[in-house]
Amino acid sequence: MPVLCRGRHPLHLRKSTGYQRLRTVQDKTRPLRNAIGERRKPRPGGRPGWLRVDSVHQGDLDGIKGLYLINAVDEVTQFQFVCAVERISERFLLPILEHLIQAFPFTIHGFHSDNGSEYINHRVAKLLNKLHVEEFTKSRSRQSNDNALAESKNGSVLRKHLGYSHIPGRFAQRVNDFTLTVLSPYLNFHRPCFFPEEYLDAKGRLRKRYRYEAMMTPYDKLKSLPEASQFLRPAIRFADLDAQAHQFSDNEAARRLNTARDKLFRTINKALIPVA
């Protein structure tokens, strides 16, 4: 039987410096996580200015990178602007995002995207802070409807008008000129959209229905909001927007869109044909 030191209880030995040096486990300092963006669904409260943003890739072919389309849609009015970038990097994306946010006729209060690193980073957060965008949110896990508006527009607008074919990145400027000067004005002033009407079903659950009577263009939806002029940017007036909306009829705007799109793709296809 081991002999213990006189006057020392075995439990007292654990307080000794030698024992604590050998046996004590210390928790290391954990780095503080600075989350970028709040993980939740935006809550615009019926006010315009809360954007849903997503990107669409036009594919790669034989090692040649395709361009990316940046799609920004306002949740309440469905005002929409589309831009094209050669790469999905900060060098190309940040100037386009700034241009997109400033292109909307009303003040932007919120920016929502999925969890892609092209949007969820400190550079984009700094840009939004510079442009006084109050809310920066991102989609939640296993909540596919959080960014459903932008994703549905990817199919019904971008894929419909620009297709699925590979478009090399070097044509980003040409595509960008088309989307900003022709496609986006057509979408906002001449293309009607469905807008949901909320109602309670027999079980008291909130449901949405889409009626043909409620179809209107994004611009008409903006004007239909109560006291709509308060949402406009300081330098924007409805008189100027009316002049832009009435510059062409709906049919004439559609013809201009088809003509400009055909010209764009003829130019791209001609440049891709190898010289014999």
* Six token digits for residue 230: 């308060």
Question: Residue 186 in 3-state DSSP?
Answer: helix
Residue 119: CA count within 13 A, CB half-sphere: 22
Tell me the range of 7-16, 74-83, 143-152 where mean pLDDT is highest.
74-83
pLDDT value at 32 more than 90: no
What is the structure's pLDDT at 140?
87
What is the structure's pLDDT at 206?
86
Mean pLDDT value of segment 7-32: 67
Tens-place pLDDT, residues 237-270: 999 999 999 999 999 999 999 999 999 999 999 9
What is the structure's pLDDT at 64?
87
Question: Residue 101 in 3-state DSSP?
Answer: helix
What is the structure's pLDDT at 265?
96
Higher pLDDT pick, 74 / 34? 74
What is the structure's pLDDT at 175?
97
pLDDT value at 14 more than 80: no
Looking at 3.10.180.10, 3.30.420.10, 3.30.420.40, 3.20.20.140, the CATH number of the domain 38-42+50-272 comes to 3.30.420.10
Binned at pLDDT 50, 70 and 90, residue 204 comes out as confident
Backbone Cα Rg of the chain: 27
Q: Of 133, 117, 4, which is closest to residue 74 (Cα–Cα)?
A: 133
Tens-place pLDDT, residues 58-71: 989 888 899 999 99
- Single-letter code of the amino acid located at 124: V
Place of tokens 């293309």: 191
pTM: 0.84
- DSSP bridge pairs for 86: none
What is the structure's pLDDT at 82?
97
pLDDT value at 34 more than 70: no
Place of tokens 């790469």: 87
Q: Of 147, 71, 76, which is closest to residue 115 (Cα–Cα)?
A: 147
Q: Of 151, 182, 157, 173, which is closest to residue 85 (Cα–Cα)?
A: 173
Tens-place pLDDT, residues 111-147: 999 998 899 999 999 999 999 999 999 998 888 788 8
What is the structure's pLDDT at 176?
96
What is the structure's pLDDT at 33?
63
What is the structure's pLDDT at 5?
53
Higher pLDDT pick, 19 / 176? 176
Spell out the alpha helix ranges (H) of 131-234: 148-153, 160-162, 172-178, 184-189, 218-224
